[in-house]
Amino acid sequence: MHERLTRQGNAGRKPAKRIIKVLIVDDSALMRSLLADSLALARDIEVIGCVADAATAREQIKRLNPDVITLDIEMPGLDGLSFLERIMRLRPAPVIMISSLTQRGAADTLRALEAGAVDVVGKPVVSEDADWLAFGREIVSKVRAASRAHVQPVARPSARPADTLPAPCRQEYKLVALAASTGGVAALKQLLQSWPPAGPPVVVTQHMPANFSAVFAARLDGLTQVAVQIAEHGQRILPGYVYVAPGDSHLTVIRRGAHLYCALDGGPPVNGHAASADVMFHSVADAVGDKAVGAILTGMGKDGAAGLKAMRYAGAVTFGQDEASSLIYGMPGAAKRIGAVMHELALAQMPAALLEAACAGIDRGRAGCGPAAVQAGLA
């Protein structure tokens, strides 16, 4: 009887909104105050602690069990990057890095994202012109997204050698277009570390601050067998290269006769982003049609879903990263819901599947073709 009355009394009530518990780790008292004040404006977020060093943070993490941690990269003693690596090894948790938007800060931040951080927020310059409201909106939005992230140990590169992956004559490769956002730094690193050095050409849109993109491309170039570079306007697209969209321009693909070229569009953001995955995918659909392969990886929001659907309608083969391997299933989930994804795969399965699709319809039996030739760069 009591149970029935309790159910009736609760009928029609909305479930209590989940409160996101945040621990702030920053050696600057000013930044701790700014972060706490910004997060206090959100009713669904509670700052449960503010600490100045890694040693204290370690004890507070054990005691308070935060849902999200904000972590300064530059701290005395054990720096933020080293502390992050310990967190992800001993107690994986959603971590947002607070970083200066400098070249050195960009390099450290990319290492942090590869090590398992969910996202990064640029440390604002304290001045009369600082837009504190914009900073507050950004940190609140990223904390909410981080609280939903599927944090998992960062996977090692595939042990499968690149020369055993399918690859045909490079003159007939299809173009591969990749898009990612939150979690994409680590995902793209893992995917491209299995890419053969003379493999299909790749264009990439990864959401990130403009002054991070060149550092990101250079880091990928040093960690993979394939040549990775920032795309330049009018640059011809060739096998063996990965072209990364600059962080302040849309990367599009255009055709001139038999050849494909990169074109940069400095127009306004689309879906809140410049570069936008939708803009890139739509251009690939128009310029390349069924001679393309598209994949949308982990990321927040829905950018790229409509463009990937346009690629599918144009005859391209399309892929989406599955929920289990995505840090944030927003972008691939949105693409799947509208029918843009033909094949949904775990990230570890992506390299071989993308290469297979980029080789579809090619006669791999002709002389000089095949994996061994591609690996040697002789195809």
pLDDT digits (tens, 9 = 90+) for 221-231: 999 999 999 99
Rounded to the nearest 10 degrees, the angle between the axes of helix 103-115 and helix 184-192 is: 80
Q: Among this protein's residues, is 250 annotated catalytic? A: no
Q: pTM for the complete prediction?
A: 0.84
CA distances to 24, 200, 260 from 226, in Å: 39, 10, 19
- In this prediction, residue 227 carries a pLDDT of 96
- In this prediction, residue 23 carries a pLDDT of 97
- In this prediction, residue 24 carries a pLDDT of 97
Residues 3-15 as b or e (16 or more Cβ within 10 Å = b): eeeeeeeeeeeee
Q: Which of 194, 207, 283, 325 is catalytic?
A: 207
Which pair of tokens denotes residue 112?
């942090």
In which residue are the tokens 């849902």 written? 67
Q: Among this protein's residues, is 207 annotated catalytic? A: yes
Backbone angles phi, psi at 174, to 5 degrees: -85, 155
- In this prediction, residue 13 carries a pLDDT of 54
In which residue are the tokens 């990169």 written? 262
Q: Which of 38, 99, 158, 181 is catalytic?
A: 181
Assess contact for 288 and 294: CB atoms under 8 A.
Answer: no
Domains and CATH numbers, the chain: 20-147 (3.40.50.2300), 162-375 (3.40.50.180)
- In this prediction, residue 154 carries a pLDDT of 56
- In this prediction, residue 133 carries a pLDDT of 83
Q: Among this protein's residues, is 181 annotated catalytic? A: yes
- In this prediction, residue 378 carries a pLDDT of 25
- In this prediction, residue 76 carries a pLDDT of 79
Backbone angles phi, psi at 241, to 5 degrees: -125, 150
Backbone angles phi, psi at 121, to 5 degrees: -125, 130
- In this prediction, residue 161 carries a pLDDT of 42
Q: Which of 26, 72, 303, 322 is catalytic?
A: 303
- In this prediction, residue 283 carries a pLDDT of 98
Helix/strand/coil (H/E/C) assignment for every residue in the chain: CHHHHHHHHHCCCCCCCCCEEEEEECCCHHHHHHHHHHHHCCCCEEEEEEECCHHHHHHHHHHHCCCEEEEECCCCCCCHHHHHHHHHHHCCCCEEEEECCCHHHHHHHHHHHHHCCCEEEECCCCCCCCCHHHHHHHHHHHHHHHHCCCCCCCCCCCCCCHHHCCCCCHHHCCEEEEEECCCHHHHHHHHHCCCCCCCCCEEEEECCCHHHHHHHHHHHHHHCCCEEEECCCCCECCCCEEEECCCCCEEEEEEECCEEEEEEECCCCECCECCCHHHHHHHHHHHCHHHEEEEECCCCCCCCHHHHHHHHHCCCEEEEECCCCCCCCHHHHHHHHCCCCCEEECHHHHHHHHHHHHCCCCCCCCCCCCHHHHHCCCC
Q: Residues in the chain with pLDDT < 70?
A: 1-16, 101-104, 126-130, 153-171, 361-379
